Amino acid sequence: MSNSTQNPRGIGVSPGAAVGPVVQVRAHVRPPEHEPAAADPVAEHARIKEVFESVARTLEERAAGADETAQQILTATALIARDKGLAKGVLKELNAGKGPTRAVTDAVGTYAAQFEALGGYFAERVTDLKDVRNRVVARLLGQEDPGVPEFHVPSVIVAHDLAPAETATLNPTLVRAIITEAGGRTSHTAILAAQMGIPAVVQLVGARDIPAGTIVAVDGDSGEVTIDPSPAYQQELVGKRERRRTALAGSSGPGRTADGYPVKLLANIGGVEDAQSAAAQDVEGVGLFRTEFVFLSRDTAPTLEEQTDIYTKVFQPFGSRRVVVRTLDAGADKPLAFADLGPEENPALGKRGLRLSALRPELLDTQLEALSKAAKATSAEVKVMAPMVATAEEAAWFARRVRENGLPSVGVMIEVPGAAMAARHVMAEVDFGSLGTNDLAQYTMAADRMEGALSDLLDPWQPAVLAVIGAACEGAKVAGKPMGVCGEAGGDPLLALVLAGLGVNSLSMAPSKVGIVRYALGLHTMAVCQGMATAALDARTATDAHDAVLALAHEDLAALL
């Protein structure tokens, strides 16, 4: 396929292909160890204040060219750089015998600790404080600012990993592709890139060593990155992109296999803006509406009125289409200022998801009441499901509460292997199930989702993960209930065929992935999908499973991958 065999290969997490010059996101520099004390603290303080001022000006310049959200963040960050209290703090540290970069770091640290202790919104501002610190420290050391440098031509962004604050300031029209050295299939970068429809590759070894300005070709499907691609290869990639566009343009409407078995194609969304953009696309509704954004970064629980208003705004754009809402999924890893249950040794295994709702039922009750009101105010087919359900009792507890609020359709996420294995009992309590393949892989393989180095174990092609999914589908069939998928696996066109073969009848994904999945389904009969499922389950390794299914795929699909 490519023009060279030594091309680095990462994991393709957002489909598509792009060619462009590399923009390296610079890592931040730490204060040197054993930095000598300032000889003249007052003079040093004047110099440091000038650097703070220059950072403030840079931030203001960037604010001028940014969109409204980024503008607010950058303007507030500029104010922090000019803060008198912070300047006084630096002088205090200098007088205490510290060197310039250490003094800046410690003065910022004092505020950061205060804000972290305050929690909620304040804890988030720590990112801005640290951004100022990183720039000032870099400039004091005569280095360039860390983070995303300013660039004006469409480029390929390369980073160790992208922080949410960094992605917020990226101009999507200037980003051709994203490459990271760390990250994983379900990292922030991956989800954001797929949401924006930008090709992305994560886990690319040596990505940080590619010199800025180098032309690279990025294949967001195969994960291959080609440095200085030949014109022939560039043409091949462009050709592939065109073939994809042509193929996808010819398919529209509800998801169906070649022989007409319906597999609903739905979108994953996380807010009002997502809802508006997803509703404008050819999707059959929403298979996963994450409601966390309503709760996170707040000091107090959102009121019934606030929630009703937000949910109404999310449902409205979908008309009579389906919207599956996942109730609050928080816990020790996504802490809430107003429902903090304290630190936990193993947050992923702790009081999160429905377990948090069981301990703080008033939060769930308000949310369900708001959902019920918003459902009545709109014509969307609203369904509600709970995260992190492990047992039939939990499912029954949740179902009763949802139905008491007058919501007609209740479901559970299947992301705990225990719930998958006991699916016939769990599913008997509810109306539908939805496989959260990201967490299901994490728990089945005992591998932390946030741990980039364990990406291979988290591969949803792992035959063990597929077996657990198969067991859940089997249980749902016994209970006579539909089972969907709302994890990243649903957006992989080959895996989507396997899932359909296993008995899944709805797939929810980033809207940018729906087209290729619809196309893939339309090329294969249910019998072929079932054959693929059997082949994948019989495979010894994740790679074998993938290759076995690829071998069974229609040549028109294979040509696009």
Residues that bind another protein in the complex, under the rule CB under 8 A: 72, 75-76, 79-80, 83-86, 111, 114-115, 118, 121-122, 125, 129, 299
Closest among 436, 355, 347 to 398, alpha carbons compared:
355
Minimal distance in Å, beta carbon 128 to another protein?
A: 10
Minimal distance in Å, beta carbon 150 to another protein?
A: 23
Angle at CA of residue 286, ends 282 and 291, nearest 5°: 140
The single-letter code of the amino acid at 133 is R
Residue 274 neighbours by CB distance under 10 Å: 20
Minimal distance in Å, beta carbon 146 to another protein?
A: 21
Residue 553: strand, helix, or coil: coil
* Alpha-carbon torsion (51, 52, 55, 61), positive or negative: negative
Minimal distance in Å, beta carbon 300 to another protein?
A: 9
CB 413 within 8 A of CB 389: yes
* Alpha-carbon torsion (389, 395, 401, 407), positive or negative: positive
Give the β-pairing of 410-414 and 285-290. unpaired
Choose between 180 and 312: whose C-beta lies nearer to another protein.
312
Alpha-carbon distances, residue 363 vs 111, 281, 315, 358 (angstroms): 31, 33, 21, 9
CB 244 within 8 A of CB 560: yes
Structure tokens at 235: 């043409």
Q: How many H helices and E strands in the chain? A: 24, 15
Q: Is 43 left (phi over 0), alpha (psi -120 to 50) or beta?
A: alpha
Alpha-carbon distances, residue 507 vs 143, 272, 520, 551 (angstroms): 48, 21, 13, 23
Minimal distance in Å, beta carbon 130 to another protein?
A: 13
Q: How far is CA 18 from the centre of its chain?
A: 21
Closest among 377, 448, 373 to 186, alpha carbons compared:
448
CB 511 within 8 A of CB 431: no
CB 402 within 8 A of CB 384: yes
Minimal distance in Å, beta carbon 76 to another protein?
A: 5
Choose between 57 and 243: whose C-beta lies nearer to another protein.
57
Active site residues per annotation: 188, 486
Structure tokens at 477: 């069939």
Choose between 106 and 344: whose C-beta lies nearer to another protein.
106
Choose between 119 and 347: whose C-beta lies nearer to another protein.
119
User: CA-to-CA distance for 9 and 2, rounded, in angstroms?
Assistant: 12
Choose between 131 and 415: whose C-beta lies nearer to another protein.
131
User: CA-to-CA distance for 478 and 472, rounded, in angstroms?
Assistant: 10
CB 104 within 8 A of CB 139: no
Choose between 122 and 151: whose C-beta lies nearer to another protein.
122
Choose between 80 and 325: whose C-beta lies nearer to another protein.
80
Choose between 74 and 198: whose C-beta lies nearer to another protein.
74
Choose between 79 and 215: whose C-beta lies nearer to another protein.
79
CB 257 within 8 A of CB 525: yes
Minimal distance in Å, beta carbon 462 to another protein?
A: 43
Minimal distance in Å, beta carbon 111 to another protein?
A: 5
**Which phi and psi (to 5°) does residue 532 adopt?**
-65, -40
Look-up: residue for tokens 């300032």?
38
CB 51 within 8 A of CB 140: yes
Q: In what order do the strands lie in the sheet with 215-219?
A: 11-14, 200-202, 175-180, 155-159, 17-24, 215-219, 225-227
Minimal distance in Å, beta carbon 41 to another protein?
A: 21
